[in-house]
Amino acid sequence: MANRDNVTFDGNPVQLSGRDLDPGDRPDDFRLVRDLPEVINWGNQQQGQVHIITSALSVDTPVCAHQFEAFNERASDLGDDIEVWYVSRDLPFALQRYAEEHDIDDIEFFSDYRFGEFGENFGVHVDDFNLLARSTFVIDGNGEVIYQEILSEIADEPDYDAAIEAARDAASS
């Protein structure tokens, strides 16, 4: 888990901006684009469900693509009480194309390109690129962050198992 002030991309320091969202905090409301013109609002989505929300630079990079696929593979075993969201600043068309080409159908995918509220709300906006850092958050059914991982090296993969375990623990309590 990284300190937001010590994140790198290919070993070079990058600057993240936004809110310091820590375990126990509740994310502010934010909007994401699912498909044009469909916009979802976080405040309308919670409804007691556990969410794993993972972010990445772009689905058109190898590590981000693998992250998309790896969470999709694991999501099929999670049940209806845990929902996985993949968020990037890719255009919705690129996310949809990739999902169709790679049979991504067990997770939801969203774009933060239009509003930028997710990146700012979760403190993972990479100022240097106007993209999102690689991160994973688990939000429990009460809307509180119970797990947070912001990768210290953006090119590294998240700890899939730790996020899944946190989500399962939250869903069973």
Residue-wise pLDDT for 57-79, tens only, equals: 999 999 999 999 999 999 999 98
- CATH of residue 121: 3.40.30.10
Average of pLDDT values for 103-127?
Answer: 97
- Answer whether residue 1 shows pLDDT above 60: no
The residue annotated as part of the active site, out of 2, 7, 56, 64, is 64
Query: Which residues sit opposite 153 in a β-bridge?
Result: 8
Number of domains composing the chain: 1
Domain span including residue 99: 4-172
pLDDT score for 2: 52
Global pTM?
Answer: 0.95
Q: Is 114 noted as a catalytic residue in this protein?
A: no
Contact 157, 61 (CB under 8 A): no
Contact 40, 32 (CB under 8 A): yes
